[in-house]
Structure 1
Amino acid sequence: MKYANLDVQGHRGARGLLPENTIPAFIKALDLGVTTLELDLAVTKDKQLLVSHDPFMSHKFSTTPEGDHIEKQDELVHNIYQMSYEEVKTYDVGSKFQKQFPDQQLMQIHKPLFKEVVDAVNDYLDKNQLPPVRYNIEIKSNPVGDSIYHPVPEEYSKLVYDFITTEMDTSMLNVQSFDFRILKYFHENYPEIKLAVLVENPLPMEENLTNLGFTPEIYSCYYHLLDEQKVKWLQAQGMQVIPWTVNENEDIEMVLSWGVDGIISDYPNRVLEIISN
């Protein structure tokens, strides 16, 4: 089969189909047959790892415990790093319609802990006799947010490392980040963990890799920053190339034609359909 080794990653579970970064979205991705679950981490006030793209309650899909919509200018007030997990659970993150994802099935649901996701996935795989799935774990941090919206890189990295080495098979996961500080810390302190550099800047690839200071296992950038020649160059340096977030059929086909190693998509069903034909 032509695409037998393609890594099909469900972005935030399967965001185009179910509320992002929720257990139903990850279960849906498993049902579709993804090889990897892509997710993001935030940290609560009580230092628990939460699956969430933002360190706050996004106005795009969150409603307050009272059921009120959150305005964009107010979303930073709903700071997850200043909330206990019990407080986080009182926000609904699945009932609000998003124009960007008209096919998304809406439901009342809260953000899950990372441990709850891993436990639910393991249970589902066992019960349905499905093959193991990989995880692509994004650590969301930046210098401006240190100690305000998330821990500093050393503490944040250790929280994640302690969890994945205790609760998961580290051969079945990688850590990714836009924050080069996180990647450098992992590279220096936890060299056995596979790393992916996330890139959305227009700098030359060589410059990004120089700034990073080492060659990661995966180069994962916005797909518009790539072409076939760049994919081949990155692979020749020993990296896998896994672009994001590729959603439209024509873009999926274009990216596949470049010979990428994987695709991160809000609609993994579309990728799987194309590669099976």
Structure 2
Amino acid sequence: MFIWAHRGASGIAPENTLQAFEQAIEAGADGIELDVQIVEDVPIVLHDAWLQKTTNGLGLVRSSTLEYVQSLDAGNGQAVPSLQQTLATIAGRCQVNIEIKAPNSAGLVAQDIQLALDNAWFKPEQLIVSSFDHKQLQQFASLMPNIRIGALTACLPTDNSRFAVELKAWSLHCNRDFIDIELVKDAQAQGLKVYVYTVNHVEDITLMQSLGVDGIFTDYPARAIQYFKANCQ
């Protein structure tokens, strides 16, 4: 079971911060999932469109200045990191799933990923770009066909994994509340990895195991790893 640290080890550290990412790496997570918004054409690592959700700032992210965002406290004295800073800090120590949240940002994300590759911070196979915005996934794939894409869904599609296959995705990322064995088997038969978010409780972990999914996104990577070590010998 592949363990993705959801926004880093966000159950014990401020989400989407360098502290959360370091704690995920220390826990032994296979990968880190993070979210990208855009401020003044700079990709930053932040989930919500509003600053007040996870920082001591106010207002819409897209209406803010980069200077203002970088001055904020994202928890425990942590700053809001840029995507470039984050990739340079993680530097290939685990895989990274970059989720595009902001509209019209695929090109900017591609630029930062290309910089990470040029500086040898990551190999292409260590990166995934995902989004609920499938048009942006298409755009990103046309810019960087060597980087895997993950198709996100918050529903149970009537045609199962067809939409992800049409996107030429590498993986299907599903909501734990909207997944069944038919979807999992269909996706895997098409060669897709199936990753499920957000799986924090033992009961949900056990259910995901029974469905045969390939990995989970969890806020508590250390706890999930401990569970699998104790129960999958």
Taking the TM superposition and a 5 Å limit, the aligned residue runs for 1:106-255 are 107-122=76-91, 132-141=93-102, 150=103, 152=104, 156-168=105-117, 169-206=123-160, 209-210=162-163, 213-255=166-208
Cα distance in structure 2, aligned partners of 1:39 and 1:53: 8
Cα distance in structure 2, aligned partners of 1:167 and 1:215: 23
Structure 2 portions without partners, runs of 5+: 118-122
4+ residue stretches of structure 1 with deviation over 6 A? none
- Match for residue 85 of structure 1? 66
Task: Check if 1:52 corresponds to 2:46.
Answer: yes
**CA RMSD of superposed structures (Å):** 1.9
Task: Check if 1:264 corresponds to 2:217.
Answer: yes
Cα distance in structure 1, aligned partners of 2:38 and 2:27: 29
Q: Which moved more, 1:171-180 or 1:253-262?
A: 253-262
Are the structure 2 counterparts of residues 244 and 170 from structure 1 closer, same or farther at C-alpha, using a change threshold of 3 Å? Answer: same
Are the structure 2 counterparts of residues 209 and 188 from structure 1 closer, same or farther at C-alpha, using a change threshold of 3 Å? Answer: farther
Cα distance in structure 2, aligned partners of 1:22 and 1:274: 25
Percent identity reads 30
Task: Work out the number of aligned pairs and report it.
Answer: 225
Cα distance in structure 2, aligned partners of 1:210 and 1:172: 24
Instruction: Normalising by structure 2, report the TM-score.
Output: 0.89
Which letter does structure 2 place at the counterpart of 1:188?
A: S
Larger proportion of strand: 2
Give the superposition deviation at 1:62. Answer: 2.4
Task: Check if 1:7 corresponds to 2:7.
Answer: no
Give the superposition deviation at 1:259. Answer: 1.4
Task: Check if 1:273 corresponds to 2:222.
Answer: no
Are the structure 2 counterparts of residues 188 and 273 from structure 1 closer, same or farther at C-alpha, using a change threshold of 3 Å? Answer: same
Give the superposition deviation at 1:189. Answer: 3.7
Give the superposition deviation at 1:205. Answer: 4.2
Q: Secondary structure at the match of 2:177?
A: helix
Cα distance in structure 2, aligned partners of 1:210 and 1:247: 27
Give the superposition deviation at 1:91. Answer: 2.0
| 1:157-196 residue CA offsets vs partner (Å, 9 max, x unmatched) | 1111121122142221010000011112123343222010
Instruction: Normalising by structure 1, report the TM-score.
Output: 0.75
Which letter does structure 1 place at the counterpart of 2:187?
A: L
Structure 1 portions without partners, runs of 5+: 1-5, 65-74, 95-106, 126-131, 142-149
| 1:192-249 residue CA offsets vs partner (Å, 9 max, x unmatched) | 220100100243243x634883341101010121123321221001100001000111
Question: Is the 8 Å Cα contact of residues 135 and 172 (structure 1) preserved in structure 2?
Answer: yes
Cα distance in structure 2, aligned partners of 1:139 and 1:213: 19
